[in-house]
Amino acid sequence: MKQGGQGFVVFFRLGFLEVIGERFGMEAVQDSVMAVSAFLTSSLRSDDAIYHWSDSSLLAVVHSQANEQTLTAAMRRIVDNNRDITIQIGERNIMLRIPMEFEVTPIQNLRAADDLFKLSQARASKW
């Protein structure tokens, strides 16, 4: 943010984690978040970063010169391809589908880390 680089912050909200937690336990929730994070990591460029932001959201810092509309379309394709993940619970393999929503914000709209926190709070109240 301080460097004024081009790029975007993308908030991903993962759905059904409460249901997974109730049905399979918190370890299954953690495994699900890690599996989605791995999927996003493999879908983005190597210089992009993924962070576990809250109990049900991930944050990606995407270094891109594309415009917001183009990046949003690319993120939509990634999210739409997020199909089934497999987690192991004891001796069983469980296949789950974790729905995701996302929002894109240009980094240039953020002046400080506090702006990122405020933005994430606003997103949390919408979702």
**pLDDT single digits (tens) 80-92:** 987 788 999 889 9
Rounded to an integer, the average pLDDT of 76-101 is 90
Please check whether residue 61 is in contact with residue 7, taking contact to mean a CB–CB distance below 8 angstroms.
yes
Give domain status of residue 126, yes or no.
no
Give domain status of residue 35, yes or no.
yes
- State pLDDT tens for residues 111-123: 776 776 776 666 6
Give domain status of residue 100, yes or no.
yes
CA distance 80 to 21: 23
- State pLDDT tens for residues 23-62: 999 999 999 999 999 999 999 999 999 999 888 999 999 9
Kindly tell me if the per-residue pLDDT of 3 is higher than 70: no
Give domain status of residue 116, yes or no.
yes
User: How many separate domains does the chain show?
Assistant: 1
Give domain status of residue 3, yes or no.
no
Give domain status of residue 125, yes or no.
no
Q: Which pLDDT score, from 0 to 100, does residue 1 have?
A: 47
CA distance 84 to 55: 20
Q: Domain residues for 58?
A: 8-120
CA distance 87 to 30: 10
Give domain status of residue 75, yes or no.
yes
Rounded to an integer, the average pLDDT of 11-19 is 94
**pTM across the whole model:** 0.83
Give domain status of residue 30, yes or no.
yes
Q: Which pLDDT score, from 0 to 100, does residue 33 have?
A: 94
CATH of the domain at 64: 3.30.70.270
Kindly tell me if the per-residue pLDDT of 5 is higher than 70: no
